[in-house]
A and B are shown apart, each in its own frame.
Chain A
């Protein structure tokens, strides 16, 4: 079975500063990786995905993530954050050829300070 660890429950960042949200996963097989964002009282919105190919993945709203197989990581980055980026961010994994449900981390609350 796979698992996901998001190392930081909360990350405060000043507006226009860069940010990195960390995600590590554990799985005995190859995986697909996802980052989702959740605003208060809403469902999850897909930011980006890694299915195969280039390990650097670009998503919506200026976010990108890099898949590192040797370190089993999929960290999310943005070079310059805005107040509107304040939200909860979830990393998720599913196993290639395996069960289809996503396994999520506990989330990282990104707090943008003016």
Chain B
């Protein structure tokens, strides 16, 4: 499959803890993007990291990219109950390929 694959499939943490999700892929990419989806809604773009970047921050989000290992990670620090959602990586070459997502539950 050309899709990114997220790991773990599901993650449950306490409010205030950090959440880490991983994405692995197989083909070369132009960039990699992370999206969030609240239950029953559309996806919302969180952050984009280009293939020549190694790390990027946005608020409580930190994304890393290792093109030699074809992997990326999304770290959400100091999680909140409102962070409960599914998170998808999208590997972007000539086309977009979305992974199957990580379901994050943050327990208040």
B partners with A: no
